[in-house]
Chain A
């Protein structure tokens, strides 16, 4: 009964001050919506791979290799590793290998190139939780040429999910469908549509220990200690790879390690892969914990800003309500019941805001998914945690935001209030000033952060990469043409609108990579001077077609028969080799471990460094040699009528092959590499804008109250001769001062933290002083516009009216 009364009074009071209530509810709802979306994002990121019921017992085995100047951290391991670990260590309950591949799959007369395919050991269904709808998981991948497909894939190829026993023609081989599984969850670090039995892939039986090809996962027995297993890895590796090292590299493990090189293994918990792993040979593009921290911080910031608004507006209003408090107290209301009254009001506002936020977040989720590249769903599982969390939010924020005004206002002495002693309550709010400073410090911080991220992304977009990615059309999988690949290239080169073309799968924007060891002399492996460069087979048109620049020597020539042993190296390779003048120097490649057979290469030129990794990494050495790699045909086009040209190229392709014709554009492939960064950048911008908007909403409210509080003063000043400019600056001065303090606090901090963020990029922009200045000015301008709206209104008001209202 009493409680109902509180709610009724609170409701009336909120209704009476519509503008105040609107700003509060709106600001808080906006903040909560943003916060909620980020929480959904973070929860989604943190839930990666947790759909596996045995997730806590699954670990990936990684390889770290250092040879000479090169270090590589692999997410892939040796072919025999999985089986050997399972046999040697009783703690390992099971192990599975995955190997990514791509293949043409026949659907009717069409040949579709599928990328989400992996070879998998039969144990894959024991280790991972991939529920099978049709088929027997125990035996599904036992036989060669068996394939398990997902529901969606089954529907795509057969229009049905009862397809066990049917066959799929994959790269000319008949594969028997032995199972249909549910689609892999989006929150998996790998996502395959087809799993082919590992036994279909002959190389999987290799017993080589100096190779890294297979993503290898082990399942520990319950209660086993992964640390103990890791401790035994060095011994294990020595046992199995020692002899191979001796024959292949002509080195004992001790000699190898004495030379500063190493070959190690370690474990990554399955649930850490998505956010903590970024190795060579990952099965998908992972995210990083850094972004989780950044977004969580933004969410907290936004929530904080919204709460501060609430508190500030409530206390600002306190002097208006002081009289009400005074009268209530004179009439016998206790302090306690006043506190409850104010808290009820603030909880009511928070409740309203939370309900709006829940609705808004649900409505905005599709757009947010689009922005973030996610498939987050709000379903009954979400509500299981979302509703209690919302309730806690209402209580906590309602209390926090309401407590200051509640305790502050209820402490008013009725005599003081009625005497008007608290009329000047607005100015005395040092806490309010402090909070406004804090709010704007955060906003300015976010503006600077956004500017730096934006600049860096822009820099990546426009950086001279050492090759020209514009106007390059890539025809994929030219190896499908077999021996006719060269003929295809010649035919394409004849087409009008084609400037040049080159056959090679080793492209800066593609995945194909190959490394091998080169020495500066013909003798034994010299670990100090050996380099471990990317070794790419290209044709004489490669450098020209991709618009790379030679800095010394010459390009390959089809006319020079000796060019079969010629190489063009990049500037970094020259630096690693320590050649001041690399042209005409020789390089040696051992063809066996004893170095009895050695291939001699002759450096004919140096190509300007070009980027082929993420700009987060430094350029590594590259050696280009003449070879016949037919991975892709890259075509430099010089026509505006691309569709026509593509049609012509496709026609040539169809004349030579029945396979599906696939192509892409090099600049789009490049952009895809940075899609996650672009996304992060966009999300950042959206939420920063929101944060600033909310902060301004609060400032708008505060300015309104300041103006209202000072109506009388403004009236008097106008009577005494103050003009509009004087009044506006009078009202803005206090706020501008606070914002200046905010700038002073936040800019060094932002500079420092963003500087640290940029360190992750080997190639990065500098933070210029004017970035900070622009952010400060922007905040100042936004704040000023917000305030002036109110100040000008106050300054233009008729003083006669202002004085009369007294």
Chain B
């Protein structure tokens, strides 16, 4: 599903040039659950942003579903992204001014789903995440675990083929964290490909395979199963 070859990403500031990704090559197959681990600052988030087409690489190739997207412009990337990829962040990134329902509904609006259909699609997802009773609450009125479930609901409502999660349990206690991991595992079992960045060996054990990034280049793989 995903194949990157010799991917490079630099950050230039006034004084220094940081090489965040250095000729990175890896592959993720359809239906896989992959965990990415590595020390802080080794380029995990950078990689995830590129995989999510939020950012573009400076060099190298990125093939998504047999399409080369490395040179895509912003509009094309956005189009591909909104139909295929869901995001879950460490800090949830819910919109404070919108209710739970409205937050989850948002991706459907941007993919042009009619209002009546949106209700039909949002409600089962909220149900599944067990936050249906909170549908009219605002994010600040929820606990961290609940907020992350809303975020996951939002990530899956569009039935994406790929979910990218950047430290999804980073802001949660262990019991809430486990709930989130169970949810991701369920989704994976239903066929969604998942790539997750984590610092927790415990969470990484939910995945099929761990990709260890050392300095933006070196990759070590542990097959879990």
A residues with CB within 8 A of B: 419-421, 423-424, 427, 712-713, 715-723, 726, 798-800, 803, 806
**Inside 8 A of A721's CB, which chain B residues have their CB?**
78-79, 81-82, 107, 110-111
Name the contact of A720 in the complex, choosing from B49, B79, B96, B154 (C-beta under 8 A): B154
Residue of B nearest to A419 (CB): B140
**Contact of A806 with B75 at beta-carbon distance under 8 Å, contacts A424-B96, A717-B106, A720-B107 already known:** no
**Inside 8 A of B111's CB, which chain A residues have their CB?**
721
**Contact of A421 with B140 at beta-carbon distance under 8 Å, contacts A720-B106, A803-B89 already known:** yes
Q: Does residue B91 face the partner (Cβ distance < 8 Å to A)?
A: yes
Residue of A nearest to B166 (CB): A803
A730 to chain B, nearest CB (A): 11
**Contact of A713 with B97 at beta-carbon distance under 8 Å, contacts A722-B110, A723-B78, A803-B89 already known:** yes
**Inside 8 A of B82's CB, which chain A residues have their CB?**
720-721
Name the contact of A806 in the complex, choosing from B49, B93, B106 (C-beta under 8 A): B93
A712 touches B93 (CB 8 A): yes
**Inside 8 A of B54's CB, which chain A residues have their CB?**
719, 798-800
**Inside 8 A of A718's CB, which chain B residues have their CB?**
78
B residues with CB within 8 A of A: 49, 52, 54-55, 75, 78-79, 81-82, 87, 89, 91, 93-97, 106-107, 110-111, 140, 154
The 5 A-B pairs of least Cβ separation, nearest first, read A721-B82, A721-B110, A720-B107, A713-B95, A716-B93
A715 to chain B, nearest CB (A): 8
Sampled A-B contacts (11; CB under 8 Å): A423-B96, A715-B93, A716-B95, A720-B87, A721-B78, A721-B79, A721-B82, A798-B54, A803-B89, A803-B93, A806-B91
Residue of A nearest to B157 (CB): A720
A719 touches B87 (CB 8 A): yes
**Inside 8 A of B49's CB, which chain A residues have their CB?**
800
**Inside 8 A of B154's CB, which chain A residues have their CB?**
720
A800 touches B110 (CB 8 A): no
A440 to B91 CA separation, bound complex (whole angstroms): 39
**Inside 8 A of A715's CB, which chain B residues have their CB?**
93
**Inside 8 A of A726's CB, which chain B residues have their CB?**
110
A724 to chain B, nearest CB (A): 9
B108 to chain A, nearest CB (A): 10
A474 to chain B, nearest CB (A): 70
**Contact of A720 with B110 at beta-carbon distance under 8 Å, contacts A799-B54, A803-B89 already known:** yes
**Inside 8 A of B95's CB, which chain A residues have their CB?**
713, 716-717
A423 to B97 CA separation, bound complex (whole angstroms): 10
B19 to chain A, nearest CB (A): 17
**Inside 8 A of A806's CB, which chain B residues have their CB?**
91, 93
**Inside 8 A of A421's CB, which chain B residues have their CB?**
140
Given contacts A421-B140, A716-B93, 14 further A-B contacts (CB under 8 A): A419-B140, A424-B96, A713-B97, A717-B106, A720-B154, A721-B81, A721-B82, A721-B107, A721-B111, A723-B75, A726-B110, A798-B55, A803-B91, A806-B93
**Inside 8 A of A712's CB, which chain B residues have their CB?**
93
Residue of A nearest to B80 (CB): A721
A790 to B24 CA separation, bound complex (whole angstroms): 37
**Inside 8 A of B93's CB, which chain A residues have their CB?**
712, 715-716, 719, 803, 806
Residue of A nearest to B81 (CB): A721
A528 to B51 CA separation, bound complex (whole angstroms): 98
A420 to B142 CA separation, bound complex (whole angstroms): 13
Residue of A nearest to B155 (CB): A720
B97 touches A427 (CB 8 A): yes
**Inside 8 A of A799's CB, which chain B residues have their CB?**
54
**Inside 8 A of A420's CB, which chain B residues have their CB?**
140
**Inside 8 A of A424's CB, which chain B residues have their CB?**
96-97
Residue of A nearest to B94 (CB): A716
A705 to chain B, nearest CB (A): 15
B148 to chain A, nearest CB (A): 14
Residue of B nearest to A722 (CB): B110
A529 to chain B, nearest CB (A): 79
A805 to chain B, nearest CB (A): 11
A712 to B139 CA separation, bound complex (whole angstroms): 14
Residue of B nearest to A424 (CB): B96
A799 to B167 CA separation, bound complex (whole angstroms): 18
A803 to B154 CA separation, bound complex (whole angstroms): 17
A719 to B49 CA separation, bound complex (whole angstroms): 10
B141 to chain A, nearest CB (A): 10
Most B-side CB within 10 Å, residue of A419, A420, A720, A726: A720
